[in-house]
């Protein structure tokens, strides 16, 4: 059973370009969470999605950032018109049910390191 | 807003020694997680603590949860070099659907 798959592992963009980060959850998992990690810092929640629905996007910047988790295919985190401050590691995590249901825990992908030049 | 604080943030210790990492949080929660992260890698789940007084042990690591004090500890016994990593605690608010992470404790175990 493959783990959470994220691609690309490394993404380099120039200021003003778009970044698209992909996350395929573990088989059987329909809940996806995106987190951002800045150097020397902990993970900051961005968005929580369940198939075709955004459940909680309270951690997402209001502009330039969007996320989706379509019925078919991976979850996508999209950053438009990237700026240097967007440079970070972006982690996706999945679970079969929402966190808090029984003893569910998050399974994390290897992350995408975004570098904005 | 839920705040999660870990201390120390940096810990350098010798092999064979014992030490404790502390995780304090600011609001009601009955569910706390510990994760390990190696440099450049993803997060690996270590423990899920589900209730007050919960204690879990795996090898040289033992985690406990005191929901009344809003405190969790990760105790390291007779440290070995392989334990060098960054350790994160993460808390789920009682009515929430996401995890809030602490800043992480960067542990270095020296031979």
Q: What is the pLDDT of residue B81?
A: 94
User: b/e per residue, B46-65, with b = 16+ CB within 10 A?
Assistant: bbbbeeeebeeeeeebbbbb
B chain contacts of residue A103, beta-carbon cutoff 8 Å: 48, 50
Query: Which of A40 and B33 is assigned the larger pLDDT?
Result: B33
Rounded to whole angstroms, the Cα distance separating A94 from A29 reads 6
DSSP state of A2: -
State percent of chain A over pLDDT 70.
96
Cβ distance of A98 and B97 shorter than 8 Å: yes
Cβ distance of B101 and A105 shorter than 8 Å: no
Type and span of the H or E element at B62: strand B61-66
Q: With 70 as the cut, is the pLDDT of residue A103 above it?
A: no
Which residues of chain B register pLDDT less than 50?
Answer: none
Contacts of B23 (CB under 8 A, 6+ apart): B4, B5, B6, B32, B34, B71, B72, B73, B74, B89, B91, B102
Q: Which of A56, A99, A108 sits opposite B43 (nearest CB)?
A: A108
Q: What is the pLDDT of residues A41-73, one digit of tens each?
A: 789 999 999 988 999 999 999 899 999 999 989
Q: What is the pLDDT of residue A92?
A: 96
A chain contacts of residue B104, beta-carbon cutoff 8 Å: 41-42
Q: Which of A43, A55, A105 sits opposite B101 (nearest CB)?
A: A43
Closest residue in A to B49 (Cα) is A103
Contacts of B97 (CB under 8 A, 6+ apart): A48, A55, A56, A98, A99, A100
Q: What is the pLDDT of residues A75-97, one digit of tens each?
A: 999 999 999 999 999 999 999 87
Question: Is the CB of residue B25 less than 8 Å away from at least one CB of chain A?
Answer: no
Q: What is the pLDDT of residue A42?
A: 82
Q: With 60 as the cut, is the pLDDT of residue A40 above it?
A: yes
């Amino acid at each position: 059973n493959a783990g959470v798959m994220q691609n690309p592992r490394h993404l380099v963009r120039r200021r003003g370009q778009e970044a698209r980060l992909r996350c395929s959850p573990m088989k059987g998992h329909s809940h996806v969470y995106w987190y951002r990690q800045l150097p020397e810092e902990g993970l900051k929640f961005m968005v929580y999605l369940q198939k075709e629905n955004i459940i909680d996007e309270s951690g997402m910047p209001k502009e330039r950032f969007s996320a989706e988790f379509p019925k078919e295919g991976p979850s996508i985190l999209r950053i438009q018109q990237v700026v240097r401050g967007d440079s970070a590691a972006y982690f996706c995590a999945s679970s079969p049910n929402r966190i808090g249901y029984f003893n569910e825990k998050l399974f994390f992908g290897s992350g995408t390191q975004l570098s904005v030049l | 807003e839920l705040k999660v604080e870990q201390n120390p943030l940096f810990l350098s210790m010798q092999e064979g020694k014992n030490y404790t990492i502390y995780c304090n949080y600011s609001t009601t929660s009955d569910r706390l997680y510990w994760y390990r992260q190696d440099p450049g890698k993803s997060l690996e789940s270590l423990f899920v603590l589900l209730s007050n007084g919960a204690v879990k042990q795996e090898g040289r690591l033992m985690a406990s949860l005191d929901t009344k004090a809003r405190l969790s500890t990760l105790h390291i016994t007779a440290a070995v070099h392989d334990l060098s990593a960054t350790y994160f605690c993460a808390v789920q608010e009682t009515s929430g659907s996401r995890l809030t992470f602490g800043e992480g404790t960067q542990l270095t175990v020296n031979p």
